[in-house]
Amino acid sequence: VAPGSRTSYVPTAALVVRRSAIGDVGAFDPALRVGEDVDLVWRLHAAGHRIRYAPDVTVAHHEPETWRALLGRRARYGTSAAPLAKR
């Protein structure tokens, strides 16, 4: 994400949200197996909440250790496209 640029969503791997904002739009939608983070960010934005990127924050994540696991994860992510498009 470049400073000042727009993006369609931000992943919630390290998202901090005000409790009042979650009260406004609700939490993750349990009906979505994947893509629930995209849906939440879209709902926050639609409700008028600001989404801000903080490049100075560092987060570590455990990545898949094999190509098979990585491809499986990417395939699961891809299954979110149709349910999200309906929203």
Q: Which pLDDT tens digit goes with each residue over 17-69? A: 999 999 999 999 999 888 888 899 999 999 999 888 788 888 887 888 899 98
What is the structure's pLDDT at 47? 97
Query: Residue 73: is its pLDDT beyond 90?
Result: no
What is the structure's pLDDT at 35? 87
What is the structure's pLDDT at 46? 94
Cα–Cα distance, 8 to 34 (Å, whole number)? 16
What is the structure's pLDDT at 10? 77
Give the residue with greater pLDDT, 34 vs 79: 34
Taking CA atoms, 76 is separated from 1, 4, 51, 52, 72, in Å, by 23, 30, 25, 26, 6
Do residues 15 and 27 touch, judged by C-beta distance below 8 A? no
What is the structure's pLDDT at 62? 81
